[in-house]
Structure 1
Amino acid sequence: MHTTKVPAGIVSALGVTQIIGYGTLYYSFSILAPGMARDLGISLEGVFAVFSLSLFVGGLSAPFIGRRMDRIGAATVMTLGSALAALTLVLSAWSPSVPLFALAIVLMEVSSGMVQYQAAFATLVESEPRTAARSITYLTLIGGFASTIFWPIAATLTGYLTWREIYLVFAALNLLVCMPLHFWIRRDGRRGAGRGETRLRETVVGALAPQARRRGMVLVSLAFSLSGFTLAATLAHMVPMLRTIGLGGAAVAIGSLFGPAQVLSRLINMVFGKSLSPPGLAIVSAALMVAGAVILGVSGDWLPGAVAFAVCLGLGSGINSIAQGSLPLYLFGSEGYGAITGKMAAARLATGAAAPFAFAAAMNHVGTTLSLFAIAALSTLGILAFVAVAVAASVRRDGVA
């Protein structure tokens, strides 16, 4: 029986571009934001408000980007996205006023949707649909090092360069490293088609029956949005929140556990998670985030409880990234994958953009403990939505069998 291999070259190339893409366009922003605020003469809160706006607009652009990926190819979109990312970084570095800076950051987030996980997952589905779920796991494991690599890089560079000069360096990385790699992936796919390979004609059939797809789309989008809200809210306020509940100087050390836990969960899934279906993966992911919020809410300033919170959140986040790519493929198949994931990303990113403000307001009005229980309840609703979809998919598969 023929076994399709994971396209190791494409996964490795995308791993490099995901580290650069997330590192330059997302993770470095928090390090460079104080310099931006001083240079532009606005508050730090104002800089982050611009970033939140850009996340919201990026979410709105996701369905359009997804449809373009289906039409012209995800690797082509990623190639164009690298050029746009470089252009927006240069525009940000040049911007002489706050309105132009805000426009550049918003456009940068649109370019992010063209080069980050949504597009990378679609590229893997186009390349080898039948091994895409495994490839997505490998890719997220590599991409998980983006913050580990680029937070120190950005922090070190601030000692030698201004934020504007750093953005010019980042623009060069996107233009000279990411764009050629994306172009190579695009050409590799076209060469395969020219050799008459059948991989581009292979498809994965979704587990949901056609009449259940609309309901499934609503439920999965809702579930990912609720989990994304919990993740965005807690990540944005993690260190200040831990300090507020009485953990003081340990807050930064506890928060730093999130990244390693995120990578660890992907490694565990890669080695031991082959028997767990994508719906099961999504349920475990959401359950870990609920557990983290509840543990912190109950334990308060108890150090082991805070450690367990950070680890659970990291484990859940790591698996969540895999589920975002593999669950739509499992439920809906490979046809129209870009458009489907684009719609889901729109709901998730728009909700996530509002989460930091909503959670801050909740903590100010009802306190940290009740706010944690509230987001745990929201994520529990997400678990129920994932379970409902898993049951529907199981019924279809049993019926087919």
Structure 2
Amino acid sequence: MSERVPLAAVAALGVTQIIGYGTLYYSFSILAPDMATQFSWSSEWVFGALSAALLVGGLTAPWLGVLFDRIGAGRVMASGSLAAAVALTACALAPNKAAYVAALIAIEVSANLVQYGAAFALLVQIRPQVASRSITYLTLIAGFASTIFWPITTALHAHLSWQNVYLVFAVLNLAICLPVHAWLSRSGTARRAVASAAAPQVAGRLPPRRRRLGFAIMVTGFSLMSLSSSAMLVHLVPLLSGLGLGATAALVGTLFGPSQVGSRLINMIFGKNLPPLHLAVIAAMLIPGGVLVLLFSAPSVPGAMVFAIIFGMGNGLLSIVTGTLPLNLFGSEGYGRLQGKMMAARLILSALAPFVLAFAMENLGIATSLGVVAALGGLSIIALSSLALLQ
């Protein structure tokens, strides 16, 4: 088996990841106000519906992870592109609130079929020996999803209703993502990797007797990082306003995306020989580190800028290590199932994060709430660092 990264597959997946995240995730915040108006709901209720949809999506993730291994991640992604197109169309045509919420749940379930968890599993199945590098390259490309789709969604919405924007996005999933995923699902290498042991497997570093404990610790660390990240991103504007930095919200937003991509680029160039566990610990340090910078520097504008850069870099590395660390510790066999279990834990906590931080801000105050977020991030550092003791 060649040791070269399958660049054509990575590039093709990069395009579908940009479309998948752009149409199924990043566009929602821009279209949500008009959705609320359409159904005579407050914005809080619309985002509450999204949280419910994320929660259901998280509950289905373990089953989807089994499918990645059983029939191949490429086939699952092809089906997911079709499901995403149908779900977006159903949401656009929803006649009432119940139908809208059902379609939103379908969108989040279909997102799990086509986004990072599935794409990482596919890269492992195509060429497991170089999957870690492939995952790094993929996250670098896909990191531009928000940069591309926030302005695209805004531009489309200036001329089209939110329903018609969703119909356009349905066409993108059907006309671009479905053929690409269908092509990747026919990869002979991927088929052999799923069907037999013909493709060389990557052995995990953890001894078999310690893998159950190691997996629990790893999932705990990643889940705490996701909780901290999601809570901060959802409530970023009110947090900054409460700290006297409301005017810097737009500036922070412009720095966050490039920082994510920048951290991935730095890792790709200089971190080739850095063990995935070390990279995971660095990511775990950056997220609470950014929160502490914001807490102790407010209301300093330069401090808010440093927060955006550090926090964005941590989030950028988090996307990489959720793909590479499980491969490094547990190997390529059963990788899809592991991704499904991790997706479940992270999605469920991400769905709960907005409520947890909103409750904390209301009852504890903003400064204390940021301290709690930083403490949760600190626990993720301890959890991931302890994995070194199991090897």
**Residues 268-291 of structure 1: per-residue CA shift (max 9 Å, x gap):** 000001121111111000100011
Q: Is the 8 A contact 2:72 2:190 kept in 1?
A: no
Pairwise CA distance, 1:115: 0.1
Matched, 1:241 2:239: yes
| Residue identity opposite 1:17 in structure 2 | T
What is the aligned-residue identity percentage?
50
Q: 1:7 to 1:179 in 2, by over 3 A?
A: same
* Partner AA of 2:176 in structure 1: V
Q: Which amino acid aligns with 1:97?
A: N
Report what 1:397 is aligned to: none
Q: Is the 8 A contact 1:280 1:390 kept in 2?
A: no
Give yes or no for contact 2:62–2:344 (8 Å, CA) kept in 1: yes
Task: Indicate conservation of the 8 Å contact 2:237/2:246, yes or no.
Answer: no
| In 2: Cα distance, 1:262 partner to 1:107 partner | 28
C-alpha change, 1:297 and 1:69, in structure 2 (3 Å) is: same
Of 261, 264, 267 in structure 2, the residue corresponding to residue 263 of structure 1 is: 261
The structure 1 residue matched to 2:279, chosen from 272, 276, 281, is 281
Q: Secondary structure at the match of 1:349?
A: helix
Separation in 2 of the partners of 1:354 and 1:258?
Answer: 22
Give the distance between the partners of 1:358 and 1:308, measured in 2 at CA: 25
| Secondary structure, counterpart of 2:158 in structure 1 | coil
Pair 71,365 (structure 1): closer, same or farther in 2 beyond 3 Å: same
Amino acid at match of 1:86: A
Distance between the aligned counterparts of 2:192 and 2:214, measured in 1?
Answer: 33
Q: Distance in 2 between matches of 1:200 and 1:234?
A: 45
Residue 25 of structure 1: aligned partner? 24
Match in the other structure for 1:378:
376
Question: In structure 1, what residue type is equivalent to 2:135?
Answer: I
**1:45 aligned partner:** 44
TM-score (norm: length of structure 2): 0.97
358, 361, 381: which is aligned to 2:359?
A: 361
SS in 1 for 2:271: helix
- Contact kept? 1:127, 1:199, Cα under 8 Å: no
Compute the displacement of 1:299 (Å): 1.3
Q: Deviations over 1:294-353 (max 9, x none)?
A: 111111211121111111110000000000000000010000000011111111110111
Distance 1:303 1:319, change over 3 A: same
In structure 2, distance between residues paired with 1:200 and 1:238: 48
Taking the TM superposition and a 5 Å limit, the aligned residue runs for 1:289-300 are 289-300=287-298
Query: Could you say which residue in structure 1 is the equivalent of 2:147?
Result: 148
Report the Cα distance in structure 2 between the residues aligned to 1:216 and 1:299, rounded to whole angstroms: 37
1: CA distance between counterparts of 2:263 and 2:47?
29
Over the aligned positions, Cα root-mean-square deviation in angstroms equals: 1.6
Change (3 A) 1:295 1:190: closer
Give unmatched runs, 5+ long, in structure 2.
none
Q: 2:308 aligns with which of 291, 307, 310?
A: 310
Instruction: List per-residue Cα deviations over 1:189-244 (Å, max 9, x = no partner).
Output: 369859xxx99521000000000000011101100000000000000011221122
Is the contact between residue 18 and residue 146 of structure 1 (CA under 8 Å) also seen in structure 2?
yes
Match of 1:172 in 2: 171
> What is aligned with 2:8?
9
Counterpart residue identity of residue 171, structure 2? A
Aligned to 2:213: 215
Contact 2:224 2:380 in 1 (8 A): yes
2:333 match: 335
2-side partners of 1:331 and 1:118: how far apart? 17
- In structure 2, give the amino acid aligned to 1:370: T
Contact preservation (8 Å) 2:279, 2:317: yes
CA distance in 1 between partners of 2:247 and 2:92 (Å): 34
Q: CA 1:29/1:200 → structure 2, altered by over 3 Å: closer, same or farther?
A: farther
Hey, what's the Cα distance between the residues in 2 that align with 1:295 and 1:247? Answer: 13
* Partner Cα separation in structure 1 for residue 215 and residue 268 of structure 2: 26
Tell me how far apart the structure 2 counterparts of residues 192 and 339 of structure 1 sit (CA, whole Å).
Answer: 17
Q: In the alignment, residue 218 of structure 1 is paired with which amino acid? A: A
1:91 aligns with 2:90: yes
Mapped pair 1:323 → 2:331: no
Aligned residues: 390
- Paired residues for 1:120-139 under 5 Å: 120-139=119-138
Shift of 1:7: 0.3
**Partner amino acid for 1:122?**
A
Q: How does 1:342-353 map to 2 (within 5 A)?
A: 342-353=340-351
In structure 2, the CA distance between the partners of 1:300 and 1:8, relative to structure 1 (3 Å rule), is same
2:108 matched to 1:104? no
1:127/1:200 contact within 8 Å kept:
no
Partners of 1:331 and 1:84 in 2: CA distance: 33
- Partner Cα distance (2:116, 2:233) in 1: 19
Cα distance in 1 between the residues matched to 2:220 and 2:191: 37
Q: Which amino acid aligns with 2:96?
A: S
Letter paired with 2:294: L
The alignment's TM-score, normalised by the length of structure 1, stands at: 0.95
More divergent stretch after superposition (119-128 vs 371-380): 371-380
